[in-house]
């Protein structure tokens, strides 16, 4: 019986430690520089040259919000896949290309660094 109790207590300790470690891992947000690097690699991975581009970390999604404010989302084919507020745990990197290339927006999960979507203007 003592062995059973000790095993149960050991399992409970391990599970509580795992839960604490998991919640701490989830609370760590990747840095701005890392987000920009991830987004840049994502765009380069599509074979797009970044020669004549301004790369802008869209602090708090302000540029994206302004973009959505310029046109009715329902009427603009460029916004069919991205509706305002489509997800909340992301950071945005904006690739402002010189004409005639179309601009690109890369959405990166702020906790995992996963590229959620790459949106190229039409």
Alpha helices in the chain (DSSP H): 2-27, 32-44, 62-70
- How far apart, in whole angstroms, are the C-alpha atoms of residue 62 and residue 33? 18
| Closest residue by Cα to residue 35 from 74, 92, 88 | 92
Identify the CA nearest to 54 among candidates 8, 99, 90. Answer: 99
Report the range of poorest mean pLDDT among 5-9, 89-93, 97-101. 5-9
The edge-to-edge listing of strands for the beta sheet with 90-97 is 53-58, 90-97, 104-109, 115-120
b/e 108-120 (16+ beta carbons within 10 angstroms → b): bbbeebebbebbb
Rounded Cα distance between 83 and 80, Å, is: 7
Same domain, 7 and 48: no
Model confidence pLDDT, tens digit, residues 26-71: 558 899 999 999 999 999 999 988 988 999 999 888 888 788 775 4
pTM: 0.65
24 and 78 share a domain? no
Hey, what are 35's tokens?
């987000």
58 and 13 co-located in one domain: no
Question: How many domains does the structure of the chain reveal?
Answer: 2
Q: Are residues 24 and 35 in the same domain?
A: no
Same-domain status, 21 and 56: no
**Per-residue pLDDT tens digits for 68-82:** 775 444 554 444 445
Same domain, 22 and 40: no
Measured distance CA(108)–CA(20) in Å, rounded? 25
Range of the domain at 8: 1-28
């Amino acid at each position: 019986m003592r062995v059973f109790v000790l095993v149960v207590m050991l399992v409970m300790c391990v599970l509580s430690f795992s839960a604490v470690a998991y919640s701490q891992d989830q609370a760590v947000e990747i840095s701005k520089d890392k987000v920009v690097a991830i987004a840049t690699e994502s765009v380069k991975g599509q074979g797009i040259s970044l020669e004549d581009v301004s790369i802008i970390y869209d602090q708090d999604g302000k540029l994206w919000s302004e973009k959505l404010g310029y046109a009715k989302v329902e009427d603009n084919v460029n916004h069919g896949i991205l509706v305002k507020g489509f997800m909340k745990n992301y950071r945005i990197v904006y690739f402002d290309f010189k004409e005639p290339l179309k601009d690109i927006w890369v959405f990166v999960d702020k906790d995992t660094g996963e590229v959620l979507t790459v949106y190229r203007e039409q």
